[in-house]
Structure formats: C-alpha cells, structure tokens
Amino acid sequence: MRTPYKAVLFDLDGTLLDTAPEFVVVVNQLRAEHQRPPMEAAIIRSCVSHGARALVTLALGYRESEDSFEPARQRLLDLYSEVLGEHTQPFAGITDLLHWLLNQGLDWGISTNKPSYLTLPLVQKMHFNPEPKTVVCPDHVSNTKPDPEPLWLNCKHLNCEPHQAIYIGDHLRDIQAGNSAGMHTIAAAYGYLDADDDPYQWFADDIAANSTDLKNLIEALL
C-alpha cells in the first residue's frame, strides 16, 4: 500500500544537529570577556533551545529590560557567527536516516526558530546529501513556532498536505506546532531538554529516546 506520508521535517538545534558544543564555546567566551569563570557544558546545553536571549541571561544574568542586555546579545551572536559550523555535527544516525528517506521516496526539510542568516550558512556547511528540499526560518513567516505557520510553509514548498508530513522536535513548542499543523509528531527526547522537561507530557504521537530510534519509528509509520 502506498504510504500516506511524503515528507519528514526536523527542528534544527537539538534535533537534526548537535550545535551545543559551539554555544558552550561562545557562552564561556562571553563570560570570560566579563571576567567570569567558565560554566559547565551541561548547563549551557540544556539552554540552547531557548535561543540567544536565554543564553545571554544564563551567561551574564542580564534581564531583557536592562540596557546592557542588547549589546551582550549582539556580542553573543557575533561570537557564534565566528564559530558557526566548526563544532556542529548531525546527531548519530541522522546521515543514514536522510539517505534512507531518499530511498523511500520521502522529501525532508527543516523548520527552525533560528534566523536564516545563521541557519542557511550552517546547513550549507553540513554538506547534507540529499539536501533539504525546504528550510523555513522565523524571518520567512509572520508567526513562529509554536504557531503552525512555518510548518504549513514547509508543506507548501514540498507540495504536500500537513497530514502527509512528520515533524520531529526537541521542544514543547515543536510538538505544539506540529500538532496544530495536523502532522504526525515525534518528540526528540535526546535533544536539549531542561531538567524539568517531560516530553511524555507534550502529547507527541511518538517519542525518540535516541536519535538512532528515528528510523524505526518512521519505518513503522510507512
């Protein structure tokens, strides 16, 4: 029987790519510039999915209302741009999974809250083969995840209906977006979760404890 699915979409940081090592470097460099000691990698890793603003607060304790916050955020992004792609790798099994999706006749793409000026160069540096057929960033839409608009735009690019797509993400907002879009959702429990995160409470259709579990979960759907 022909599979009802046509595409698999991934969140970027913490789902498709392990970008945390670069943020560990950047956060600790920012701290060093402010005469602060290095922070444990595990603490930084758990905060990556919350974005640059959260990382600035983590690194320096600044609140967004403070005048010092925005210069620090821009400095963090500048530092990140300098190391972009140097320490990032696909999670285990992802490269093989992408080849397998190609052999199954499924397209794949990315839906991320990471700005395009960072996302597109990073994706290019990864030399994915096959390449993603769609990449949607927050500056491509009016409403970002957890709103379903980015995922609907992915589907428009791929000429598929939302119910014909699977979305995988490591944050509650990913699963909320996928569920609202009408997609089959998989929670990436191997990603950048806070200590109090419980992906079993996110109402995802499936949960991947490890990135190597994704192929079996998707295969079962086909």
Residue 67 catalytic? no
Residue 11 catalytic? yes
43 CB neighbour count, 10 Å cutoff: 12
Closest CA to 126 of 35, 13, 43: 13
* Per annotation, catalytic residue among 11, 18, 107, 170: 11
Closest CA to 114 of 49, 169, 67: 49
Gap between the Cα atoms of 11 and 154, Å rounded = 12
Asked if residue 121 has a cis previous peptide bond (ω within 30° of 0), the answer is no
Amino acid (one-letter) located at 220? A
* Per annotation, catalytic residue among 13, 170, 174, 197: 13
Q: Which residues are catalytic?
A: 11, 13
